[in-house]
């Protein structure tokens, strides 16, 4: 037994050196792993290969598309020149001028093309979202591309798969990609008829003995692109709980978008990059495929938008940087909704500085916990924001919406939570929308949710019991790994 522990301590010591000098993890993450490996050596020895290792460099390269496939390459080149010249103001509409810095940063950091011809419909419940989605699936003519973190084998899941199967039988090209861990309880036989009808189904990062190190890196995106003209992005996966039918997590509040316009090209491009990696299929680069995936169309929308992706396959944390840039650009108010609030130091300090500068900062969280450790870790961070005058609200139900609105001018809605996992470990995608009318609509939604929420004051927070504080402290210690 002593020999075993000696080997474990030696391997842990080597791993610690690797963490510090080879992988160069963030200080908070490195510190947490060092503590675990020092005081819980067997636990650290078992866990680190599964959830601690970085994505290998050779895997990162596989997520890139060939330049000849990049339908937005010319547009990106044009915007690169415009955003670095004095002509930028002539390129942006009047209501976007004040946020040129956000647009420019999102482009330079994530190659996020800005377009102003989009229309956006917003859904705040699953009933409306799935009604619209099933209707768009029914009317699809050429292609249906779908990527979800979770596809549940329940009533709405079966309805969606049945609708896809019907379209596949009609000759529509159907591609469905889902995350293996997110949908770990979903049997593959659920897709048997869809595959038989000609549909293509694939799992992202499927788990096996040879791929166990990828368990920590999950595709948390929720993307649908229909005929290359209609896109969906937001917080809702495919499951009955998103319809408010879960026994415990009710009412369920979420936010999802239906988009038309040039930004759909960026959503399509994001899906295809994930699809070609996960399926190992050869890229479709012929003219017919390009015309089918990126069909020419004329949009009559007037909403400015960028679609920004982030994940462990790229350096930097693009969506987190976009959030921070929004926060530091705010002059009057910042409204945030997130199911999990585990910020890193840079995000937390940006909020504190905004509040100290006189900005009205409000954060809305769920009152119902779906992950108890994350819930206590989230609660611990309230001690870092309430003293700064930041207002915190607990929504009366489960809040799964990921939304940030600043000044009634700019809003970001997508799949990324305000936590370390979404910032660095998960594959995420968000929209950044520059439109006063749409942003004010989101403000109204937020204020309506406040009516169904309870404000947490410094006094009520301070009155929590000692056991709760101990749980918060322990869970916070693990927060960099959650």
In a domain, 337, yes or no: yes
Q: Are 322 and 308 in contact (CB under 8 A)?
A: yes
State the residue range of the domain holding 98.
Answer: 72-102+115-303
Answer yes or no: 220 catalytic: yes
Share above pLDDT 70 across residues of the chain, in percent, rounded to a whole number? 77
The pLDDT of residue 217 is 81
How does pLDDT run across 361-407, given as a tens digit for each residue? Answer: 999 999 998 888 888 999 999 999 999 999 999 999 999 999 999 99
How does pLDDT run across 334-344, given as a tens digit for each residue? Answer: 999 999 999 98
Half-sphere exposure of 88 (CA within 13 A, CB side): 18
The answer on 364 and 287 residing in a single domain is no
Q: Which of 256, 402, 419, 449 is catalytic?
A: 402
How far from chain centre, in Å, is Cα 344?
16
Residue 424's pLDDT band (cuts 50, 70, 90): confident
How does pLDDT run across 432-475, given as a tens digit for each residue? Answer: 999 999 999 999 999 999 999 999 999 999 988 889 889 888 88
The answer on 91 and 44 residing in a single domain is no
The answer on 130 and 273 residing in a single domain is yes
Domain boundary, last residue among 303, 338, 358 = 303
Answer yes or no: 407 catalytic: yes
How does pLDDT run across 186-218, given as a tens digit for each residue? Answer: 999 999 999 999 999 999 988 765 555 556 789
Answer yes or no: 155 catalytic: no
Q: Are 102 and 432 in contact (CB under 8 A)?
A: yes
- For residue 111, give the nearest of 220, 265, 257, 255 by alpha carbon: 265
pLDDT, averaged across the chain: 85
404: tokens are: 């940030």
The answer on 153 and 279 residing in a single domain is yes
The pLDDT of residue 286 is 77
d(CA 82, CA 165): 45
The answer on 45 and 137 residing in a single domain is no
In a domain, 339, yes or no: yes
The pLDDT of residue 144 is 98
The single residue listed with the structure tokens 């859904």 is: 123
CATH number reported for the structural domain that contains residue 166 in this entry: 3.30.870.10
Residue 159's pLDDT band (cuts 50, 70, 90): very high
Better-predicted residue by pLDDT, 225 or 300:
225
The answer on 153 and 187 residing in a single domain is yes
The pLDDT of residue 74 is 54
Segment 123-138 mean pLDDT:
98
The pLDDT of residue 425 is 84
In a domain, 67, yes or no: no
Q: Which of 254, 313, 407, 419 is catalytic?
A: 407
The pLDDT of residue 312 is 84
The answer on 326 and 287 residing in a single domain is no
Give me the helix-helix angle, 318-329 and 100-110, nearest 10°. Answer: 170
The answer, yes or no, to whether residue 347 has pLDDT greater than 80, is yes
In a domain, 461, yes or no: yes
The answer on 404 and 257 residing in a single domain is no
Number of domains in the chain: 3
The pLDDT of residue 211 is 54
The pLDDT of residue 133 is 98
The answer on 369 and 271 residing in a single domain is no
Segment 252-262 mean pLDDT:
96
Segment 285-308 mean pLDDT:
86
The pLDDT of residue 51 is 60
Q: Which of 222, 229, 256, 375 is catalytic?
A: 222
Residue 471: how many other CB atoms lie within 10 Å: 19
The answer on 336 and 273 residing in a single domain is no
The pLDDT of residue 202 is 96
In a domain, 58, yes or no: no
Better-predicted residue by pLDDT, 66 or 177:
177
Q: Are 222 and 195 in contact (CB under 8 A)?
A: no
Answer yes or no: 300 catalytic: no
The answer on 396 and 433 residing in a single domain is yes
Domain boundary, last residue among 270, 303, 336 = 303
The pLDDT of residue 88 is 44
Answer yes or no: 402 catalytic: yes
Q: Which of 220, 320, 325, 471 is catalytic?
A: 220
Residue 299's pLDDT band (cuts 50, 70, 90): confident
The pLDDT of residue 174 is 98
d(CA 366, CA 396): 7
Q: Are 151 and 184 in contact (CB under 8 A)?
A: no
Residue 89's pLDDT band (cuts 50, 70, 90): very low
The answer on 453 and 427 residing in a single domain is yes
The pLDDT of residue 379 is 93
Q: Are 168 and 199 in contact (CB under 8 A)?
A: yes
Q: Which of 145, 229, 256, 400 is catalytic?
A: 400
The single residue listed with the structure tokens 């926060």 is: 327
Name beta bridge partners: 419: 342
């Amino acid at each position: 037994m002593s020999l075993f522990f000696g080997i474990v301590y030696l391997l842990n010591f080597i791993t610690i050196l690797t963490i510090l000098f080879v992988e160069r993890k963030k200080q908070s993450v490195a510190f947490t792993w060092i503590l675990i490996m020092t005081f819980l050596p067997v636990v650290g020895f078992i866990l680190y290969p599964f959830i601690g290792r970085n994505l290998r460099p050779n895997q990162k390269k596989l997520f890139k598309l060939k330049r000849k496939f990049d339908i937005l390459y010319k547009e990106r080149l044009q915007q690169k020149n415009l955003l670095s010249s004095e002509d930028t103001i002539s390129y942006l509409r009047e209501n976007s001028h004040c946020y040129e810095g956000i647009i420019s940063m999102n482009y330079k950091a994530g190659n996020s093309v800005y377009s102003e011809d989009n229309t956006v419909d917003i859904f705040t419940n699953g009933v409306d979202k799935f009604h619209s989605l099933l209707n768009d699936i029914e009317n699809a003519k050429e292609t249906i591309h779908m990527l979800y973190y979770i596809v549940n084998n329940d009533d709405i899941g079966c309805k969606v798969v049945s609708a896809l199967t019907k379209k596949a039988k009609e000759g529509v090209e159907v591609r469905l990609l889902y995350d293996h861990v997110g949908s770990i309880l979903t049997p593959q036989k659920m897709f048997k008829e869809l595959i038989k009808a000609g549909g293509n189904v694939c799992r992202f990062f499927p788990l096996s003995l040879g791929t166990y190190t990828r368990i920590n890196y999950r595709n948390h995106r929720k993307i649908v692109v229909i005929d290359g003209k209609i896109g969906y992005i937001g917080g809702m996966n495919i499951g009955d709980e998103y319809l408010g039918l879960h026994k415990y997590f009710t009412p369920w509040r979420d936010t999802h978008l239906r988009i038309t316009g040039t930004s759909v090209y960026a959503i399509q491009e994001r899906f295809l990059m994930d699809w070609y990696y996960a399926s190992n299929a050869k890229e479709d680069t012929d003219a017919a495929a390009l015309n089918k995936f990126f069909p020419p169309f004329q949009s009559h929308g007037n909403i400015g938008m960028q679609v920004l992706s982030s994940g462990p396959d790229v350096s930097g944390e693009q969506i987190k940087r976009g959030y921070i840039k929004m926060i530091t650009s705010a002059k009057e108010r910042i409204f945030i909704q997130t199911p999990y609030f585990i910020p890193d130091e840079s995000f937390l300090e940006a909020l504190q500085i905004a509040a100290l500068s006189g900005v009205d900062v409000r954060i809305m969280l769920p009152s119902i916990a779906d992950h108890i450790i994350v819930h206590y870790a989230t609660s611990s961070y309230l001690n870092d924001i309430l003293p700064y005058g930041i207002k915190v609200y607990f929504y009366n139900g489960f809040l799964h919406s990921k939304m940030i609105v600043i000044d009634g001018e700019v809003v970001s809605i997508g799949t990324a939570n305000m936590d370390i996992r979404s910032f660095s470990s998960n594959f995420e995608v968000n929209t950044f929308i520059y439109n006063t009318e749409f942003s004010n609509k989101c403000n109204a939604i937020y204020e309506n949710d406040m009516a169904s929420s309870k404000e947490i004051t410094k006094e009520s927070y301070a009155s929590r019991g000692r056991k709760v504080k101990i749980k918060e402290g322990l869970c916070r210690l693990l927060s960099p790994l959650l």
